Amino acid sequence: MYILAIESSCDETSVSIIKDGLEEISTVILSQIDTHKDYGGVVPEIASRMHVENITIVIDEALKKANMEMKDIDAIAVTYGPGLIGSLLVGLMAAKTLAFIYNKPLIPVHHIAGHIYANNLVKRVEFPLIALVVSGGHTELIYMKEDYSFEKLGGTLDDAVGEAYDKVARVIGIPYPGGPMVDKLAHEGSDVYNLPLPLDDDSYNFSFSGLKSAVINLAHNEKQRGNEINSANMACSFQNRVVKILVKKTMKALNDYDVKNLIVAGGVAANKGLREALTKECEKNGVNLIIPKMKYCTDNAAMIGAAGYYAYKRGDIAGLDLNAKAVLPLK
Ligand code: KG4
Ligand code: ZN
């Protein structure tokens, strides 16, 4: 079964063709980062306008790359939430139009289900499993008994981890999106700043606003004293705390639940410090870890095609009245 998948929930216009949920035939990702960089973050109105300009080009390109035509496609999958409403609507309208004109089933996909199923493109995941979801909008530990069964064990009480990365980046003078650059700097610096380990308790919940505030306060205090903070050392100190608590709570979940896989999902899964720490800890404890390839950690349509296949198999087919949802629980 060939699924043409569309993702446009934030600032990437992406289209992919995926075979049977597991094999990538072609993917095109058009990022708007260079435009939004000038504003220090994603400007929703600009994002939706750029999706409008690019969506048909990206669809054509993905088909061309796959050497396929619309008649070869069996279904259309699309991210319908959560995300920026204007951005989501552009991808959704394109998907509905294709489904209507070519008479194909329309498969609605939750963005985070997509991030989770990106792992199937590495290797078919085995259930039950624990998923650590770490993105710009989510930080959650999820137990999956089987395909498309999501039981939330815990999540962030305030900022998402990617959000904290982007805010800390701004404080230490790194342009949007700061995550990848903070990660790079962290490997060049030393852990010299005395930052707290956030929400170090027995729950599966996370909290990153206290850690973020500690970075901001330290930077301000140093400035008032006429000192500069060392960006690399701050990046290293911050990243060490984040990775430590993410790994600690994930290992606790793996201890409490008998699972076959640990999978990681979302943009922050691209973080080298986190990848290294989880790999090491999982080797030590005999846990089968799967992490998506770097290019499938941040937003892309391949993951939507991968999730879409299993959504279709359980009967998730939408009518043309499907609407985009800025806020959408995972179920
Ligand atoms: O999954 P994603 O592309 O979009 C959302 O669904 O939110 O995640 C984007 C987030 C941004 O906050 C970005 O700074 C962060 O992922 N990110 C990283 C890294 N690469 C991307 N954070 C830390 N280290 C990285 N290497
Ligand atoms: Zn995402």
Instruction: Ligand 1, residue 161: give the atom nearest the CA.
Output: 12
135 CA to centre of ligand 1 in angstroms: 5
Ligand 1 neighbour 11 (Cβ under 6 A):
no
Domain range for 172: 125-291
- Domain match, 267 and 130 both: yes
Cβ 267 under 6 angstroms from ligand 1? yes
Mutation test residue for ligand 1: of 110, 268, 327, the one with most atoms within 8 Å of CB: 268
Q: How far is the CA of 179 from the centre of ligand 2 (A)?
A: 13
- Cα gap 175→166, rounded to integer Å: 9
Ligand nearest to the CA of 267: 1
Q: Cα–Cα distance between 298 and 316 in angstroms, integer?
A: 24
Judge if 145 and 280 occupy the same domain.
yes
Q: Is 83 in the pocket of ligand 1 (CB under 6 A)?
A: no
Measured between alpha carbons, how far apart are the two ends of the chain, in Å?
A: 24
pLDDT above 70: percentage of residues in the chain = 100
Asked if residue 319 is part of any domain, the answer here is no
Nearest CA to ligand 1 atom 24: 271
Cβ within 8 Å of residue 268, ≥6 positions away: 134, 135, 161, 162, 165, 179, 274, 297
On whether both 130 and 272 belong to a single domain, the answer is yes
Does residue 243 lie in a domain region?
yes
Give the contacts of 150 (CB within 8 A, at least 6 positions apart): 113, 116, 142, 144, 330, 331
* Closest ligand 1 atom, residue 270 Cα: 26
Average pLDDT over residues 89-107: 98
* Per-residue model confidence as pLDDT tens digits over 108-162: 999 999 999 999 999 999 999 999 999 999 999 999 999 999 999 999 999 999 9
- Residue 25 placed within a domain: yes
- Whether residue 151 is found in the same domain as residue 96: no
Question: Which ligand sits nearest to residue 12's alpha carbon?
Answer: 1
* 215 and 283 together in one domain: yes
| Digit-coded pLDDT (tens) for 241-294 | 999 999 999 999 999 999 999 999 999 999 999 999 999 999 999 999 999 999
How many domains does the chain divide into? 2
How sure is the predictor about 331, in pLDDT bands with cuts at 50, 70 and 90? confident
- Does one domain contain both 136 and 285? yes
For residue 326, is it within any domain? no
Within a domain: 169:
yes
Are 165 and 194 in the same domain?
A: yes
pLDDT band at 41 (very low <50, low <70, confident <90, very high): confident
In a domain, 327, yes or no: no
Count how many Cα atoms sit within 13 Å of the Cα of residue 215 in the half-sphere of its side chain: 31
Identify whether residues 98 and 139 lie together within a single domain. Answer: no
Question: What pLDDT, on the 0 to 100 scale, is given for residue 40?
Answer: 85
- The percent of residues in the chain predicted with pLDDT above 90, rounded, is 95
Q: Which atom of ligand 1 is nearest to the CA of 177?
A: 14
Amino acid at 54: N
Residue with token string 């701050």: 234
Q: Is residue 321 part of a domain?
A: no
> Could you report the per-residue pLDDT of 195-242, keeping only the tens digit for each?
999 999 999 999 999 999 999 999 999 989 999 899 999 999 999 999
Place of tokens 């289209």: 15
Cα separation, 276 vs 299, in Å, equals 21
Nearest to residue 9, comparing CAs of 77, 79, 76, 58?
79
Q: Give 75's pLDDT tier (boundaries 50, 70, 90).
A: very high
What protein residues have CB closer than 5 angstroms to ion ligand 2?
Answer: 135, 299
The Cα–Cα gap between 180 and 3 comes to 31
Is 154 in the same domain as 138? yes
Are 113 and 159 contained in the same domain?
Answer: no
Predicted pLDDT at 5: 99
Mean pLDDT across 37-52:
93
The better pLDDT of the pair 237, 174 is held by 237
Same domain, 282 and 310: no
pLDDT surpasses 90 at 177? no
Residue with CA closest to ligand 1 atom 14: 179
Three-state secondary structure of the chain? CEEEEEECCCCEEEEEEEECCCEEEEEEEEECHHHHHCCCCCCHHHHHHHHHHHHHHHHHHHHHHHCCCHHHCCEEEEEEECCCHHHHHHHHHHHHHHHHHHCCCEEEEEHHHHHHHHHHHCCCCCCCEEEEEECCCCEEEEEECCCCCCEEEEEECCCCHHHHHHHHHHHCCCCCCCHHHHHHHHCCCCCCCCCCCCCCCCCCCECCHHHHHHHHHHHHHHHHCCCCCCHHHHHHHHHHHHHHHHHHHHHHHHHHCCCCEEEEECHHHHCHHHHHHHHHHHHHHCCCEECCCHHHCCCCCHHHHHHHHHHHHCCCCECCCCCCCCCCCCC
Q: Nearest-CA neighbor of 116 among 85, 91, 70, 149?
A: 149
Query: For ligand 1, is residue 292 a contact (CB within 6 Å)?
Result: no
Nearest-CA residue for ligand 1 atom 13 is 179
Q: Look up the pTM and report it.
A: 0.96
Question: For residue 10, which of 172, 196, 166, 130 has the smallest C-alpha distance?
Answer: 166
For ligand 1, say whether the CB of 162 is within 6 Å of any of its atoms: yes
Using only C-alpha atoms, the chain has a radius of gyration, in whole angstroms, of 20
Q: How far apart are CA 238 and CA 183, in angstroms?
A: 10
Give distance in angstroms: CA of 116 to centre of ligand 1. 14
In a shared domain, residues 274 and 130: yes
- Tell me whether residue 325 is in a domain: no
Any idea what the CATH number is for the domain that residue 82 is in?
A: 3.30.420.40
Q: Return the residue whose CA atom lies nearest to atom 4 of ligand 1.
A: 136
